Amino acid sequence: MRIPIVGGNWKMNTNRASARSLAQAVTSACSSHTHNTQVVVFPPFPYLVEAGVALGGSNVMLGAQDAYFEPDGAFTGEVSLAMLKDCGVSFVLTGHSERRHVLGESDDLVNRKTRATLDAGLSCILCVGEKLEEREAGQTDTVNERQLRAGLRGVSADQMARIVIAYEPVWAIGTGKTATPADAQTAHARIRSVLADLYRPAVANATRIQYGGSVKGSNASELFGQPDVDGGLIGGASLKADEFAQIVAAAAAPRS
Ligand code: 13P
């Protein structure tokens, strides 16, 4: 049985006060579900410590939206994994489509960040997903497979226990357009078969694959009801504690 995981990616939103109050609100709104669902929030870097304090001793975990792969040195503006650990972070996002397509991160850079995250002893959510023109050209599976194989290069089967894959079709992010549950299931099953080929079926079956892209309180249940959808990575709706908790509750509900 894979334990569902729901991430709240706050992106470049909140301020110091609202990050603190959102973390507190998420903690109390999600408390009844964290025994059977993993919940992680990803505040902006400057608010990590404050948000971490607000999460207190709850089961809601702290994540970082990015990290650099070098341990220290002259890398102006970058943040190391040791710094993030020092701030109480246990999850790091890599390969998010905004970093790939807005900030220009390559598959190779995503792989370095993924490996460095695992080597630092942290868990990693590796994001993959196709752009609209790629989907329309019938390249969804090819793009996901390329991003998976490149992102996981050098990652051992043992380290896969600390990897979560997030399938986030780029055309569904922040657009209000969600993949249909059937489309999400098809992509997730294909991703799982690539993992089985890269590792072995037991590793593929144990790896959580989240869906991300315009998940809301109103559509979470049908998406998370799919056999290969193990929770979600949430952007806009993670900024409202009540709606985020509704999404977490949908992940916590038993799959039929
Ligand atoms: P939205 O939920 O706002 O579409 O964002 C999804 C996402 O990018 C999460 O990482």
10-residue stretch averages of pLDDT, the chain, 256 residues long: 96 98 97 92 98 95 98 98 98 98 98 98 98 95 98 98 97 90 97 98 98 96 97 98 97 86
Domain count, the chain: 1
3-state secondary structure 58-89: CCCEEEECCCECCCCCCCCCCCEHHHHHHCCC
Secondary structure letter of residue 236 according to DSSP: G
- Rounded (10°) CA dihedral 173, 132, 225, 164: -70
pTM of the model: 0.97
**Cβ(215) – ligand 1 distance below 6 Å:** yes
Annotation marks residue 101 as catalytic: no
Q: How far apart are CA 155 and CA 247, in angstroms?
A: 30
* Residues 20 and 51: beta-carbon distance below 8 Å: yes
CA angle 24–164–192, rounded 5-degree value: 145
Q: Is there an atom of ligand 1 within 6 Å of 128 CB?
A: no
Pick from 51, 123, 107, 112: nearest CA to 78: 112
Taking the C-alpha atoms of residue 147 and residue 187, their distance in angstroms, rounded to an integer, is 13
Q: Give me the CATH number covering residue 166.
A: 3.20.20.70
Question: Using a 6 Å cutoff on CB, does residue 173 contact ligand 1?
Answer: yes
Contact call for residues 41 and 73 (beta carbons, < 8 A): no
Ligand 1 atom closest to Cα of residue 93: 10
From 33, 168, 188, 243, the catalytic residue: 168
* C-alpha 231 – ligand 1 centre gap (Å): 13
* Residue 25 amino acid letter: A
Give 3-state DSSP helix, strand, coil % of the chain, rounded to 5: 45, 15, 40
Provide DSSP, 87-142.
Answer: TT--EEEES-HHHHHTS---HHHHHHHHHHHHHTT-EEEEEE---HHHHHTT-HHH
Ligand 1 and 181: CB distance under 6 A: no
Of 48, 64, 56, 63, which is closest to residue 27 (Cα–Cα)?
Answer: 56
Catalytic (active site) residue 33? no
Residue nearest to atom 2 of ligand 1 (CA): 235
- Position in ligand 1 atom list of the atom nearest CA 176: 4
Of 41, 40, 51, nearest in space to 15 by CA:
51
Residue type, 108: D
**C-alpha 254 – ligand 1 centre gap (Å):** 24
Atom nearest to 98 CA in ligand 1: 8
Q: Which residue has the tokens 């190779």?
A: 108
Domain that holds residue 94: 5-252
Predicted pLDDT at 34: 85
Which H or E run includes 252?
helix 241-252
Beta bridge partners of 38: 5
Whether residue 80 contacts residue 46, with contact meaning beta carbons closer than 8 Å, is answered with: no
Pairing of strands 163-167, 208-212: parallel
Amino acid 57: pLDDT? 87
